[in-house]
A = this chain, B = another copy of it.
Amino acid sequence: MIAFRDRLAAEQQRKQSCVVVGLDPRFEKLPEEFQRLRPGEAVAAFNRAIIDAVEDLCVAVKPQLAFYELYGAEGFQALRETVDYARDKGLLTLLDAKRGDMGSTAEAYAQAFLHPQGPFDADALTVNAYLGSDGVRPFLDLAEHHGKGVFVLVKTSNPSSGELQDLETDRGQVFEVVARMVDAWNCEAVVGGTWPEQAARARELMPRATILVPGYGAQGATAEDTKPSFRADGSGAIVNSSRGIIHATWPDGPRHAALTMRDELRAVTGTLG
């Protein structure tokens, strides 16, 4: 079995791309042709169309779970179909769930989203570490056993992320403490592209981690802003855009936006050797 981190790195090199396409579809914002369907079916069909348009340009898709839970059971069915479709197209699937709970509950979340015999079987999950290591360990254990990935929130891209994450503690800022935990856990991390300075520090504290960088595009981070999350050789990070791609003018906008993003990031990272 190949570790998640290595699978992802191999795909980055093969496609010379570090683009992740965020699948955060809102029924009422979908092109008209999809709005004739029920919400769950519309979301699933739209995602298939997006995946078809961008599959050669990105390494992974990142469904944001809120936009599936919003449609109840049929939204969850759409999520399952999306994960399966993306996998069939050779894309890695990162579920943006930001789950975090303890013991048997964390285990149940891990089984739900990462277990090969579970309802979803995605490749990776985002996790919130506010509960500490016993809230993260069940995710790590299951992920390691099945070659899956765990991305722990270190520094999020939103404007108020500093309220807790930048607090000065007697062991550095809170996000630095979490970054050190991530390094000890030897898992992956989330660091917002909107905070280049903190990203440089996080990169330093987590030399082994793959960093998922949200915030590109609609949230304001430029390709240049994402640079500190990469290693000097251009490896070690993937960059997500959601609205900037999926809500670009239908039907050609999404592919065009993904292509532009890939090339802008390639200019920053150089060719991946």
Contacts and interface: CB of A to CB of B under 8 A. Distances in A.
6 contacts: A64-B105, A69-B76, A69-B108, A130-B130, A131-B153, A167-B171
B76 A162 contact: no
Given A105-B66, A156-B102, A129 B164 contact: yes
B156 A70 contact: no
Interface centre among A104, A118, A181 (most CB of B within 10 A): A104
Contacts of A167: 167, 169-171, 174, 177
Interface residues of A, number: 60
A102 B174 contact: no
A134 B111 contact: no
A173 to B, nearest CB: 9
Contacts of A113: 69
A73 interface: yes
A112 B39 CA distance: 13
Contacts of A159: 134
Interface in A75-93: 75-77, 80
A270 interface: no
Contacts of A170: 167-168
A260 interface: no
Contacts of A72: 76-77, 80, 112, 119-120
Contact of A100 (B74, B98, B105, B120): B98
Contacts of A135: 156, 158, 160
Contacts of A120: 72
A195 to B, nearest CB: 13
Contacts of A109: 66, 69-70
A178 interface: yes
Given A72-B76, A128-B100, A67 B164 contact: no
A24 B67 contact: no
A170 B160 CA distance: 18
Nearest to A108: B66
Given A76-B73, A170-B167, A174-B167, A132 B108 contact: no
